[in-house]
Amino acid sequence: MKNTHHDIPSALIEALRNAQRVVVFTGAGVSAESGIATFRDALTGLWSRFDAQALATPQAFREHPDIVWGWYEWRRAQVLRAAPNAAHYAIAALQRHVPALTIVTQNVDDLHERAGATKVVHLHGSLHAPRCSACGAPHVVDDGPATVSSVIGTHAEAHAETHAETRAGSNADTYADTHADTHAASNADEGRRIPPPACTQCGAPVRPGVVWFGESLPSDAWSTALHAAQQCDLLFSIGTSALVYPAAELPQRALAAGATVVQVNPNATPLDAHAHCNLHGAAADIMPRVLAAAFDQRDEGLKGDHAP
Ligand code: OAD
């Protein structure tokens, strides 16, 4: 399919109108315009000398629980402050237009749901469902109004913590650099180390409810996603680098099963060479226009009027 100046190709419009089963497969790029950093963006603040992929591992949590828990709490606070963008609303609106829609996301935020998506398959877990690292008991998180500021910290708190750390020294080995902390913590909005809470059942540290590198995907979520990809007529791959497996297999499975695969991404990915249609641009720009072109609803996805 050809895509000229971001016009939506007529073959895509036809395919979407005729599709019985559609899969929307999303990654961090869908939430980028809600202010949530993707995994390919450089980390900032306290986290700027860390590699996201090194922090998202069981080993990092074992060795440096306060750094990893602090990072996830900082990301969770970002999500609590964020709002769905036009891409989330357009994707949720697809529910009303296609007979069967399965939304499969690698994202650990809840912005699809907050845009009105009723059923979302989370392949990589959720920031909002921490659990005990030993017994697996769910841990209730406090998402009250004070949470964001308490997680991110105030300038004074961050500064005081930095001085305390500098005095006490740090045993965080490779991750530790008190000079970098002093510099980073001078901005109140840039995160801090937080020890994970203890499980109320067994006392072991609570861990984020996400899938880390080296861990298996939740089997129900994966089998639902795989089944949907293999049965669909049309799959959108939106805002994902298509690099992290097994999730990145989904568009390939859909292609192998004969589905039309459409990619939405401002940058090139390994899927470019295989997708039937590559719409190069921001999801929040393109997805509302896809909906409008296919279903003739000009303001589809732009108003956010389907939010709960
Ligand atoms: P990545 O951070 O790897 O890729 C984000 C993609 O979004 C890139 O291809 C960007 O070009 C694209 N992008 C950026 N802004 C966009 C926009 N406004 N509209 C559309 N696309 C945009 O994120 P994922 O592919 O989701 O796993 O990463 C997959 C997994 O790798 C994550 O779930 C995480 C990660 O490391 C784990 O933590 C296990």
User: Of 150, 175, 207, which residue is a domain's last?
Assistant: 207
Q: Is the pLDDT of residue 176 over 80?
A: no
Residues ≥6 apart with Cβ < 8 Å to 118 = 95
Q: Is the pLDDT of residue 101 over 90?
A: yes
Q: Is the CB of 106 under 6 A from ligand 1?
A: yes
pLDDT band at 38 (very low <50, low <70, confident <90, very high): confident
Q: Is the CB of 266 under 6 A from ligand 1?
A: yes
Mean pLDDT of 213-221: 96
Q: Residue of the nearest CA to atom 11 in ligand 1?
A: 267
Are 298 and 230 found together in one domain?
yes
CA of 162 to the centre of ligand 1 (A): 32
- In this predicted model, what pLDDT tens digit does every residue of 3-31 receive, in sequence order? 443 589 999 999 999 999 999 999 999 99
d(CA 44, CA 115): 27
CA of 29 to the centre of ligand 1 (A): 5
Q: Please report the beta strands in 77-189, taking only residues with DSSP state E, as ranges in sequence order.
A: 100-105, 120-122, 131-132
User: Of 177, 207, 237, which residue is a domain's last?
Assistant: 207
CA of 228 to the centre of ligand 1 (A): 21
CATH code of residue 296: 3.40.50.1220
The pair phi, psi for residue 300, each rounded to 5°, is -55, 125
Q: Is the CB of 75 under 6 A from ligand 1?
A: no
In a domain, 212, yes or no: no
Are 138 and 179 found together in one domain?
yes
Mean pLDDT of 191-219: 95
Q: Describe the strand order of the beta sheet including 21-26 as a list of residue ranges.
A: 120-122, 100-105, 21-26, 234-238, 260-264, 277-279
Q: Within its chain, how far is the Cα of 163 from the centroid?
A: 33
Comparing CA positions, the residue from 233, 243, 234 lying closest to residue 271 is 243
Which residues form the domain of 67? 37-81+131-207
- 3-state secondary structure (DSSP) of residue 183: helix
Are 43 and 14 found together in one domain?
no
Tokens standing for residue 150: 């308490």
Cβ(84)–Cβ(307) under 8 Å? yes
Q: Is the CB of 53 under 6 A from ligand 1?
A: yes
Cβ(127)–Cβ(76) under 8 Å? yes
Mean of pLDDT over the chain: 84
Return the DSSP state at 205. Answer: B
- In this predicted model, what pLDDT tens digit does every residue of 230-289 receive, in sequence order? 999 999 999 999 999 999 999 999 999 999 999 999 999 999 999 999 999 999 999 999
The pair phi, psi for residue 110, each rounded to 5°, is -120, 30
